[in-house]
Chains A and B, each alone.
Chain A
């Protein structure tokens, strides 16, 4: 299971990469592995929306389950990855790269401090 050290993580298995004043987010390798084959992605957030931290921004559906994806930090949505609509399997193949979901212009960069580093995320206790 990959957990790149330069990223930040949420307990809901989203990752965040800081790029200047933007953050890019997606779901983790662990999350895609748990979901197994992903067959459908709906990005609910739209470019230009201002959303709070924790709001549902996407729904990912696999052959096993449907999962909501929550916005790891609040802010304005500046881009969504439309290639995933036609190629949801990219999330299985490259969760930290090609399968980024959303770019956000943070409204409160201090929210980043509440996220986990790779080490903490790896050691996170799972209920299941």
Chain B
């Protein structure tokens, strides 16, 4: 064990502050919390540790081994090998915060490219250098709206069809901020237009997901107009792959666009690290959390990159800053940059179409199984809700016995939706996998 201070060092320090022994410094703590016995097992050798960890890893079941239709915020997409090999270059892999432009041009340029790609994808003026994940991006959108009105507007209209984990994160972030968050208790299957009545002159932000948590795509025109009629901000959370196919939120005049960047070349890896996309209009750039890399020229007229906004937010604005989150998810943002560069504009469009068509094929086939229903008129992208003849939890158990990771059991978070299964289909699901799923469901019905 490495201990930075020797006993002699400690004794010398204690003598200076006039304390007999270290334990005296902890007098204010209750006895039962002091020096608890950790009851750790005896140490093991490296060989034994590796053996144990390898055993634990074999208990995992992954989408490589199972047929997976699970999405609900994290999606199984193909990741080109080039993503990982570029990511693992030590110049990127070991780089830390690029405060010094003279030695960090590569990292800064990568961030700049990332921002440019996200701005283009969302149709917005400016994207920041990223946040930790979709949930933190959404929470930062709320934060930004709150500070935009200098705390004078205290209402957030939040769609119940925003990912429940994101909504939970918003509540965590906003604890103690005296904000009223409305809309979540509406019937989860309402349309965005049902939120309009909740918007008033005290509303700072109207926040929806697109496609929403149930995979549905709605026209957001009226909701956006209603938000802007009250001078509130309008924020849209996206699945970036879907933007290869559907209208970007900028066309609905969104003020803020957030997104979960995981589908862009980032493995699901049990929930993270992921990537938070955040883009906005130029007029709000000073209110945006995080950092921004910019392109400039040096004294010789050569192109160069620098961090342009981060210092203002955190170090200068201090308690007046919109947010104290200043870091970004550098390496993972790079992964998405490489991924998007490899696909290109037409590649992303093709990928989105492939997802769309496979999901629609699956929905159509599942609808033919007696007892299972998919809303036939609701537009969706690569995810949709299946109404089941039995609780979704039971359907999933049955499917798992066929080595199929079924969908997301919506009853877990929406008590009224126990019979609803959220099914995601990506380019990774072959036609035979989809047919196999349908067969397994047919068997379930006949059981």
Contact = CB atoms under 8 A, between A and B. Distances in A.
Interface of A: 39-40, 42, 44, 56, 59, 61-66, 68
12 contacts: A40-B286, A42-B286, A59-B320, A61-B312, A61-B316, A61-B317, A64-B316, A65-B316, A66-B312, A66-B316, A66-B318, A68-B320
B308 to A, nearest CB: 10
Contact of B317 (A56, A63, A66): A66
Nearest to B316: A66
Nearest to A66: B317
Closest 7 CB pairs of A and B: A66-B317, A66-B316, A66-B320, A65-B316, A40-B286, A61-B312, A44-B150
A60 to B, nearest CB: 11
B182 to A, nearest CB: 26
Contacts of A63: 316
B209 to A, nearest CB: 30
Main SS class of interface, B: helix
A62 B286 CA distance: 13
A63 B317 CA distance: 10
Interface string B282-317: 000010000000000000000000000000100011
Contacts of A39: 312
Nearest to A42: B286
A64 B315 CA distance: 9
Contacts of B312: 39-40, 61, 66
Contacts of B318: 66
B90 to A, nearest CB: 34
Contacts of B286: 40, 42, 61
Given A44-B150, A59-B320, A64-B316, 6 more contacts: A40-B286, A56-B150, A61-B312, A61-B317, A62-B316, A66-B317
A119 to B, nearest CB: 33
A87 B314 CA distance: 24
A68 B319 CA distance: 11
Contacts of A59: 320
Nearest to B319: A66
A42 B318 CA distance: 16
A42 B287 CA distance: 11
Chain A CB within 10 A, most for which of B312, B316, B318: B316
A46 to B, nearest CB: 11
Contacts of A42: 286
Contacts of A64: 316
A69 B100 CA distance: 32
A66 B322 CA distance: 13
Contacts of B317: 61, 66
